[in-house]
């Protein structure tokens, strides 16, 4: 349905994430994957969704000079926000353990920003989901890190994996946003672009 509306556009997903790529396949969209490496750093004055918005826009920068008139570039970034700071991807097992221990027994926010870029406009939106974990034992945390190696995931966990299944007790908002893409907002925005461009 959406694919027909967007038949005159080239959809470019700038993400190496298998989860995000799967979401786009599930939308029945024709799209291509292009990834350019970007140093994911942000000004320290930024806070909350300003961080993920900035990083999503930063990932679009290397593409801007080469976009054609009918290209729609989609970039995104996910952070975990807890205790007034952003938790990114852990560098090693010790950092993953420290992050998961801090999330144990409390509620945190997962924020995903998505940036839509064409030669004529740029639109960035974000979505926030609140996730609550039960009190996780040290054994559970260590087992998860050793078995699933969550070093490519913000907040050191994937909600769709073992730790989410045994540990998450409450979700307020989009589940798919926690997996890395508020797909309902992507669908809505692409529909709007198709109808107004």
Report how far residue 153's alpha carbon sits from residue 175's, in angstroms, rounded to the nearest whole number. 15
Report how far residue 103's alpha carbon sits from residue 137's, in angstroms, rounded to the nearest whole number. 12
Closest Cα partner for 14 from 76, 66, 61, 58? 76
Catalytic residue among 77, 92, 94, 152: 77
Helices (H), 75-180: 93-103, 138-148, 162-167, 175-179
3-class DSSP state of 42:
coil
| DSSP letter (8 states) at residue 154 | G
Q: Are the C-beta atoms of 186 and 123 separated by less than 8 Å?
A: no
3-class DSSP state of 19:
helix
Report how far residue 74's alpha carbon sits from residue 124's, in angstroms, rounded to the nearest whole number. 10
* Catalytic residue flag (residue 8): no
Q: State the DSSP H helix or E strand holding residue 80, giving kind and residue range, or none if neither.
A: strand 71-82
The residue length of the chain stands at: 197
Closest Cα partner for 13 from 73, 77, 78? 73
Q: Which residues are catalytic?
A: 77
């Amino acid at each position: 349905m959406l694919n027909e509306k967007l038949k005159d556009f080239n959809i470019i997903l700038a993400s190496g994430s298998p989860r995000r790529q799967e979401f786009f396949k599930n939308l029945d969209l024709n799209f291509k994957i292009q990834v350019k490496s970007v140093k994911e750093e942000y000004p320290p004055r930024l806070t909350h969704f300003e961080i993920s918005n900035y990083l999503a826009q930063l990932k679009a920068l290397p593409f801007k000079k080469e976009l054609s008139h009918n290209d729609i570039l989609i970039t995104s970034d996910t952070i975990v926000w807890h205790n007034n700071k952003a938790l990114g991807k852990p560098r090693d097992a010790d950092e993953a353990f420290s992050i998961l221990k801090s999330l144990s027994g409390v509620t945190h926010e997962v924020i995903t920003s998505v940036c839509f870029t064409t030669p004529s406009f740029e639109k960035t939106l974000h979505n926030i989901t609140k996730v609550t974990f039960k009190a996780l034992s040290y054994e559970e945390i260590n087992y998860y890190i050793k078995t699933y190696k969550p070093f490519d995931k913000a907040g050191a966990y994937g909600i769709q994996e073992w730790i989410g299944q045994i540990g998450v007790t409450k979700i307020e908002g989009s589940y798919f946003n926690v997996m890395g893409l508020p797909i309902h907002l992507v669908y809505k925005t692409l529909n709007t672009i198709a109808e107004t461009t």
